[in-house]
Amino acid sequence: MRKSVILVTRKLPQAVEARLKRDYDVRLNPDDTLYNRDELIKLAEDADAIVACHTEQFDAEMFGQLPDSVKIIANFSVGYDHVDTRSAKKAGVIVTNTPDVLSDATAEIVMLLILGAARRAGEGEKLVRTAAWKDWSPAFMVGTQVTGKRLGIVGLGRVGQVVARRARGFDMEIHYHNRTRLRPALEAGAIYHETLEDLLPHCQFLSLNAPSLPATRGMLNAARIALLPDGAIVVNAARGTLVDDDALIAGLKAGKPAAAGLDVYNNEPAIDPRYKELPNTFLLPHIGSATAETRDAMGFRALDNLDAFFAGKEPGDRVA
């Protein structure tokens, strides 16, 4: 019996690739090459499915060129803004993602960003590595205490709820904004704000955990930054598109917000170079889901979706 042909766009964890090789006729990427559009189209010839990452863009033009054999794109990611779902539906291609499994890992990075930005960890590490640390004094490397502060979360979904639980370990008071208010059991005492403008004045810390949608792109702009209290710190481990870079960089230069912790960016990895010049930024290279446990779980979730599809069932994580 013919095995379904699966194109894998990036190198995946060993256990995930082993399962792929066991169950499918798989085209792997052992060198982890970042394929361009033409290369992907050529490699997808006669393929039944593609296991894709957020590093590949599947827009209308791409769907117009993909071989008709491709019937499903199983994303190795929870976000799927790199896929034009409307074009996918028009082309008859099913799209899935991998929710739930990366919430803990991403929430850990949010807390790292909060602590790193508040306690000036990037500056401190540079001082140690460059032997510029000379002595101690009461005024040396004074940062912002996290414990007991107000944390505003934009998007109290899967990741946002875990962030709230972790932040409560620092006795933080949780405020949030969602398109719709959550049930009291899910709020767990968090204070709801109907609009982002109502939320921002309360945010001594602000965590962006919303998906990238037309309504959320550039949501953190100059007008909204101005609503933050003095000394506020902003962190983003969701999507770079949530931030207006010009507005955030201008704000950081002016001292409002006081600092930012970022794991995601517009145009990554070619991020706006001005971020790297600012002392009040704590910058990470999009590692929110980068734990061995999470990456395995993401891969297995993507394969569960493939298995369901090829068994004639509805994939559990279908988004298009």
Full set of structural domains in the chain with CATH: 5-101+292-310 (3.40.50.720), 103-283 (3.40.50.720)
Averaged pLDDT for residues 211-223: 96
Structure tokens that stand for 225 in this block: 């930054």
Q: How many helices (H) and strands (E) does the chain have?
A: 13, 12
Q: In the predicted model, what is the mean pLDDT of the chain?
A: 97
Averaged pLDDT for residues 181-210: 98
Averaged pLDDT for residues 159-173: 98
CA distances to 178, 191, 237, 285 from 174, in Å: 13, 6, 17, 27
pLDDT of residue 297: 98
Q: Would you say residue 48 has pLDDT above 90?
A: yes
| Phi (first) and psi of residue 7, to 5 degrees | -95, 125
pLDDT band (50, 70, 90) for residue 1: confident
The DSSP code sequence of 213-243 is: -TTTTT-B-HHHHTTSPTT-EEEE-S-GGGB
Q: Would you say residue 147 has pLDDT above 90?
A: yes
| Cis amide linkage into residue 257, ω under 30° from 0 | yes
Q: Would you say residue 212 has pLDDT above 90?
A: yes
Residues marked as catalytic: 239, 268, 286
pLDDT band (50, 70, 90) for residue 200: very high
Structure tokens that stand for 187 in this block: 């709020």
pLDDT of residue 150: 98
pLDDT of residue 304: 98
Coil, helix or strand at residue 187: helix
